[in-house]
Chains A and B, each alone.
Chain A
Amino acid sequence: MTSRYPAIAPDILALFASRGAPTVDVPVLQPADPFLDMAGEDLRRRIFLTESETGAALCLRPEFTIPVCLDHIASQAGTPRRYSYLGEVFRQRREGGNEFFQAGIEDLGDREIARADARSLADAHALLALTLPGQALKITLGDQSIFEAVLAALGLPRGWRMRLARAFGSAEQLAAALTDLANPQKNGALPEPVAALVADGDRDGLAGHIASTMADAGLSPSAGRTPQEIARRLVEKAELRSVRLSAEAFSALEKFLAIDVPLDRAADALEDFAKSAGLSFGAALANFTARVAAVSAEGLSPSAIGYDAAFGRPLDYYTGLVFEISVGDASRPLAGGGRYDRLLTLLGAKTPIPGVGFSVWLDRIEALRGAAA
């Protein structure tokens, strides 16, 4: 069995132990729902699904973060706690094998956010420096919370902020969302008496009307969207009908997203941007600066790390820091990670538990080692 493990596995496990992250073992067979719930339906065609005799959907673990968090919740372990893992994950891939090794550390419950963020980055860097000695590592860092702070500071309506925050990290989706907001679609004409109720902003009247149409359709008013919820959004939407994203806000967002500087100059660049756009980041910038200091304290040089204001990772559970590490100009990252402060609550933790972690693709590292040898 052990021969299946990559040759570098013992070194990595020793590194994890020396960094205070004992190894946790999670089953290969996992309930499928948490993955589909967190990562989205799109994951369905990329995982190996099966069914238990009783009809429960199971899958071969496609990654470690969710199983490690579920295991933490189930064991009711105290926090803060660091877990490391090294094992196989299973995904349907067109290229490369369907089973490959990942390793990483999940850091749960540390309230010192800046320190934990920096340590996670340093953990990932140390792993790559150990397994790929002499290779130039390129770290790219982004921050979901800075982007959300810009949206809030621009005074954009809530619905728009949510839409843009969701698109963060995908240049394509962000461009589409911005275009939509600059040229809002005309709403269709509403039938009476709805149009009059909306014009009056009469939410209770609307909710009453919607409740009766739901009753006619045999829809439960509580099993899904409620009449009040629909009425609220309908009124909100009508209020936004005449509003469009201003040219100033649009250009401010574009200017922000274009920021791409070494991390040691990032705070200055953000402050310059804030000054020129006449807005304030509030606490988000202080947290950002504290993280830069913590990164230095971990022995990493901020001047050698890139901050890209538009950089995000395509998973909606990241809440703050996101990062990737690659070698040279390779498009595929060797390590990826980030902060996921809402994930444990979504997975069923009774109290909020902040978390940050990273994962490395050992198959990619092995390929590079093979090429170098």
Chain B
Amino acid sequence: MTVTLAIPSKGRLKDQSLEMLASAGLAVSLPGDARRYRARIEGRDDIEIAFLSASEIAGEIGQGSVDLGITGEDLLRESVADWESKAAIETKLGFGQADVVVAVPESWLDVETMADLDDVAAEFRQRHGRRLRIATKYWRLTQQFFSGKHGIQVYRIVESLGATEGAPAAGSADVIVDITTTGSTLRANHLKVLADGVILRSEACLVRSFRTRAASDEALLSQICASLARAVRE
């Protein structure tokens, strides 16, 4: 019996995940060949490590094809429909923090809150012959926040796969929903976050998928989760 733990395959998320695992007594012995995507934990033949991109990890967790994964809460909520029925966040890991926010041009001096944006969106079509456009790669989170939480229906999402912050200046959208850590990219693009425009304060999480498995595997997963939770607290 082995269980699979997927961790991000590159960047700071990878490094911080490896550090966290090491401090939980689960040091990963990296493959000699850095291009290989499988690894083991020293002395633990029952745990297999898979290196995947963070967004793939969220997807695989949703499919139940990996048992545990370290990925961003934003990616889990965005890419897995009805995620609560498929997986649970075991532990927030205290790194990889980023906020998913609603940002509008700084020159929109009259728009400070979502209620302001609601007013603007409602009149947009009449004034401009089209709906207000929101550029984002987070269409699920955007919809839940705009339609579900704030009752704003009349807008269109423009899917953006990169450099979302440039969309207003490029004329492809009016406002954006994007991820930010320090806000400096937004400021550099003359965008401001609405006062109540934080959709999600995301960070890296240890996520467990709900697929059915042997009791011994289940126990092993709980043990890994507990070790990581302890490491986070220390």
- Which A residues have a C-beta under 8 Å from some C-beta of B? 36-37, 39-42, 44-45, 159, 162-163, 166-167, 170, 172-173, 176, 180, 185, 187-188, 190, 194, 210, 213-214, 216-220, 223-225, 227, 229-230, 233-234, 237, 316, 346
Contacts and interface: CB of A to CB of B under 8 A. Distances in A.
A176 B115 CA distance: 11
Contact of A41 (B81, B107, B116, B156): B156
A180 B113 CA distance: 12
A104 to B, nearest CB: 22
Contacts of A176: 151
Nearest to B140: A45
A216 B127 CA distance: 24
A190 B109 contact: yes
B146 interface: yes
Contacts of B107: 210, 213-214, 217, 219, 227, 230
5 contacts: A40-B153, A159-B119, A180-B115, A224-B128, A229-B127
B174 A224 contact: yes
A225 B174 contact: yes
Contacts of A188: 112, 195
Nearest to B115: A180
A238 B154 CA distance: 25
A50 B168 CA distance: 27
A187 B112 contact: yes
B105 A41 contact: no
Contacts of A229: 127
Contacts of A173: 151
B157 interface: yes
A220 B171 contact: yes
Contacts of A214: 105, 107
A365 B154 CA distance: 32
B141 to A, nearest CB: 12
A166 B106 CA distance: 27
A237 B110 contact: yes
A185 B112 CA distance: 10
Contacts of A213: 106-107, 190
B131 A162 contact: no
B226 interface: no
Contacts of B218: none
Given A220-B171, A225-B128, 17 more contacts: A36-B156, A40-B155, A41-B153, A42-B147, A45-B81, A159-B119, A167-B151, A172-B151, A176-B151, A180-B115, A213-B106, A214-B107, A219-B169, A224-B128, A230-B109, A230-B110, A233-B119
A42 B115 contact: no
B147 A217 contact: no
Given A217-B190, A230-B108, A41 B151 contact: no
Contacts, number: 100
Contacts of A237: 110, 116
Of A42, A170, A180, A210, the most chain B CB neighbours within 10 A belong to: A42
A85 to B, nearest CB: 25
B143 interface: yes
Contacts of B125: 37, 346
B65 interface: no
Contacts of B156: 36-37, 41
B139 to A, nearest CB: 7
Contact of A40 (B113, B118, B154): B154
B120 to A, nearest CB: 7
Nearest to A210: B107
A207 to B, nearest CB: 11
Nearest to A160: B119
A89 B100 CA distance: 35
A316 B154 contact: yes
Nearest to B173: A224
B222 interface: no
Nearest to A38: B154
Contacts of A36: 156
Contacts of A180: 115
Contacts of A162: 119, 122-123
A97 to B, nearest CB: 18
Contacts of A346: 125
B109 A163 contact: no
B23 to A, nearest CB: 40
B147 A233 contact: no
Of A219, A316, A346, the most chain B CB neighbours within 10 A belong to: A219
Contacts of A159: 119
B168 A224 contact: yes
A44 B155 CA distance: 12
Of B81, B108, B157, the most chain A CB neighbours within 10 A belong to: B108
Contact of B147 (A41, A210, A227): A41
Contacts of B108: 225, 230
Contacts of B154: 40, 316
Interface in B74-124: 81, 105-110, 112-113, 115-116, 118-120, 122-123
A103 to B, nearest CB: 26
A304 B118 CA distance: 38
B157 A234 contact: no
A364 B138 CA distance: 35
B143 A166 contact: no
Contacts of A234: 109-110
